[in-house]
Amino acid sequence: MALISDAMWNDMLTQRIEEPHAALTALRSRQRRPLLTDNRLFIVAADHTARGMLGVPGEPFAMADRRRMLEALAVALSVEGVDGVLASADVAEDLALLGLLDERLVFGTMNRGGLAGASWELDDRMTAYSAATLHANGLDGGKVLLRLADNDAGTALTIERCAKAVDDCAALDLPIMVEPLPYAVDPATGSARLLDDDDALLRAVAVGAGLGGTSTATWLKVPASRDPRRMLATTTLPALILGGTPGSDPEATYSSWERAMEVPNVRGLVVGRSLLFPADGDVETAVRRAARIIRPVAH
């Protein structure tokens, strides 16, 4: 699978020490492309580690091996039909140093302060990119995670912060993905859990779509859900389907993506762990399968 040789890896480690600004220069000077070429987008997500999420089912520290993760991303980005990556600054700059981002879109993750499993997980502050640094560093857009828990008063601050991010990105003409998800806090343990409730998800989508003083820059990033047509009937905004935690039945996952792609305002996928760490280890096949769902081959 590896597309990163020992020489490339060692050169990057040396650059990180001796030429620390080379990563940013590479990111800013990469060959750019338009956001849309055919009204479809396929973005590979690689922003999980910035909020302490390091594992996939069966491998709690799979993403803690940065070279392994970058090699999977290198494979994914080499597949025809992949438009770009969603990443934190360290990952985006690694990819730029490796020369993997020419003619690829780069979206920067923004709020990573809600560390996975922390008692303050839903207090999801802006600790990664800001709209200003997205713009200054030559990225193509941003992304915020909006976890809504009715029994956690701190959720109000997250809503406010995400609304500001929407306004800031819109002012700079940068598209921003908003990922609204319904959560609840367990009163006994204090832990946050995602609600498996289509009505709650629909409500979260409505809230996410209404953030900020304008929706002109907003793209929604949402789960496939059991009824994606009903979920997205609540908005006219474009939507991208997220991958979520890899499941034990990849065929069911692909089928849910195919079903969601039939909804008129669904324009593609943003998927990370399901494709970068598939159960059989075959990243290229998994990514090609997803690419065909977004852009079916005409026969």
- Classify residue 184: in a domain, yes or no: yes
Rounded CA separation 243/6 (Å): 31
- Residue 288 maps to a domain: yes
Span 22-28, average pLDDT: 97
For 175, the token pair is: 């598209």
Spell out where 153-296 has E strands: 176-185, 192-194, 218-222, 239-242, 266-271
* Sign of the alpha-carbon dihedral angle for 145, 175, 242, 55: negative
Percent of the chain residues past pLDDT 90, beyond the cut: 91
Cα three-residue angle 144-150-153, rounded to 5 degrees: 80
Is residue 26 scored above 60 in pLDDT? yes
On the 0-12 / 13-18 / 19+ scale of CB atoms within 10 A, 288 is: middle
**Residue-wise pLDDT tens digits, 239-290:** 999 987 777 788 999 999 999 999 999 999 999 999 999 999 999 999 999 9
Full domain range(s) for residue 143: 6-29+41-294
Domain count, the chain: 1
Asked if pLDDT for residue 13 goes beyond 50, the answer is yes
Specify the pLDDT at position 250: 87
pLDDT of residue 2: 59
Does 127 map to a domain? yes
β-strands 141-149, 218-222: how paired? Answer: unpaired
Q: Is residue 1 part of a domain?
A: no
Comparing C-alpha atoms, which of 185, 208, 43 is closest to residue 114? Answer: 185
Domain harbouring 225, CATH code: 3.20.20.70
Considering the entire predicted model, what is its pTM?
0.96
Q: Output 251 or 181, whichever has higher pLDDT.
A: 181
Give the pLDDT confidence score for residue 1 in this predicted structure. 53
Q: In the predicted model, what is the mean pLDDT of residues 66-78?
A: 97
Per-residue model confidence (pLDDT) at position 244: 73
Q: Do residues 266 and 260 lie in contact, with contact meaning Cβ atoms separated by under 8 Å?
A: yes
pLDDT in tens, 187-231: 988 899 999 999 999 999 999 999 999 999 999 999 999 999 999
| 36 falls within a domain | no
Digit-coded pLDDT (tens) for 94-125: 999 999 999 999 999 999 999 999 999 999 99
The predicted model gives 140-163 an average pLDDT of 96
Give pLDDT, residue 245: 73
Task: Round the average pLDDT of the chain to a whole number and report it.
Answer: 95
